[in-house]
A = this chain, B = another copy of it.
Amino acid sequence: MKTEIITSGTELLLGEITDVNTPYIAGELAALGIDLYYTSAVGDNYERFSGVLRQAWERSDLIIITGGLGPTQGDITRNVIAGLLGEALTIDPGLKREITAFFTGRGIEMPENNFRQATLIPSAAALRNASGTAPGWWVEKDGKIIVTLPGPPGEMQEMWQTQVLPRLKSSSGAIILSRTLKAWGLSEAKVDQLVSPYLAAANPTLALYARQDGINLRITAKAATEAAAHDIVLAREREIREIMGQYIWGVDDQTMEGEIGRRLNPMKHTLAVSESFTGGLLAYSLAGVPGSQSYFRGGIILPVSVDECSAAAADKKAETVRARFNTDIGMAVEGYYEIAGKTAGGRAFIAVNRASGRQATTVDYPGKPPQVVRRIINHALVYLMNSLT
């Protein structure tokens, strides 16, 4: 079923609001295994809206429209659909009663405008709106479907869950399942090269995304049952881990700092950190994990000059901060940022100190702050995480 989403509202084209309805509906469609090919936004202009809808009608089987169902003259979604299908808008007595009741229930008179919201065309069935006065439409004609939903995300989502989703589920057959592997330490191009054959596969699909926490690899499988979809995802995950498993630090919505907490908690080990040019980002990342109070005991930020920076100095600082905060683990990230010719980058000395021993590494990243600082802290977090196994 080829699907597209149209969001309507001049406020979208003025950048006054961010469209959160499209990603919501897109995610819901993906979970149903329904192919979404296009999304577009259009203003409250009859001619342009009609043009966009006519094109959608020609190329898609299912069209989902949000917005433009209000009582004002600027709300033209109903008119545009009636125009496309050549059907007349008439006031539906049942809808009129419901909308009138909405107002009398609140003890206020209904503005005449609101009758616009009680209109239907012969091909449309009304979708009830539990929290507003704008009913949606479910239109079926010539083997195609148009769904209209209100713009306010709360009303839209409720109508989606209670009325649209059940109708769509009964018309789709497959189960779709996704899992995201998260890698640090390889460029996007390198990952692309390593998993290249899988990127062309149709089921499961594999997609790469560059994110702040590295490269995300998303595996998506389609199957008749949930168990079958799960098996397809798992088999591909195994193959990818064979190729680049040592770079994968997490899955789905895991974070580096959250994963550190998940490992530290059962060990009952505590942690303190020392930083220089990363300025507190290591501490801030660790402290931001809910429940981190049980293991994160604090940090020191002490900017130092380039010539004070060394692996030995970092090692010493990891030891000192462990003693200062009386923790099981002391970690230091010391380093500097410099511009040499046209190349900017940072070098960091990372050290971890425990009663049982010490570890250290040195890392270089290109780029400018704050990106280079973020990359060095990610590297340090993964380094710490790997020491906690």
Contacts and interface: CB of A to CB of B under 8 A. Distances in A.
Interface string A16-58: 1111101111111110000011111111010010001001000
Given A105-B345, A111-B193, A279-B283, 4 more contacts: A12-B39, A106-B364, A113-B192, A131-B367
Nearest to A18: B23
Nearest to A7: B39
Given A38-B41, A192-B71, A303-B298, A343 B279 contact: no
B284 A277 contact: no
A24 B210 CA distance: 20
A18 B20 contact: yes
A16 B188 contact: no
Contacts of A42: 37-38
Contacts of A301: 280, 283, 287, 298-301
A51 B282 CA distance: 46
Interface stretch (A138-146, A231-239, A368-376): A368-376
A83 interface: no
A70 interface: yes
B48 A37 contact: yes
Contacts of A207: 10-11, 14, 74
Contact of A284 (B281, B286, B345): B281
Contacts of A40: 38-41
A383 interface: no
Contacts of A74: 199, 207-208
A72 interface: yes
A247 interface: no
A298 B288 contact: no
Interface of A: 10-20, 22-30, 36-43, 45, 48, 52, 55, 70-74, 101-102, 105-108, 110-114, 130-131, 152, 154, 187-190, 192-193, 196, 199, 207-210, 218, 220, 277-284, 286-288, 290, 292-293, 296-303, 305, 342-345, 364-371, 373
Given A72-B192, A298-B301, A14 B41 contact: no
A81 to B, nearest CB: 18
Given A113-B189, A114-B189, A284 B279 contact: yes
B107 A364 contact: yes
Nearest to A9: B209
A101 B343 contact: yes
Given A210-B152, A279-B286, A368-B131, A111 B190 contact: yes
A38 to B, nearest CB: 6
A110 B190 CA distance: 9
A151 to B, nearest CB: 9
A189 B27 contact: no
A2 B247 CA distance: 46
A302 B327 CA distance: 13
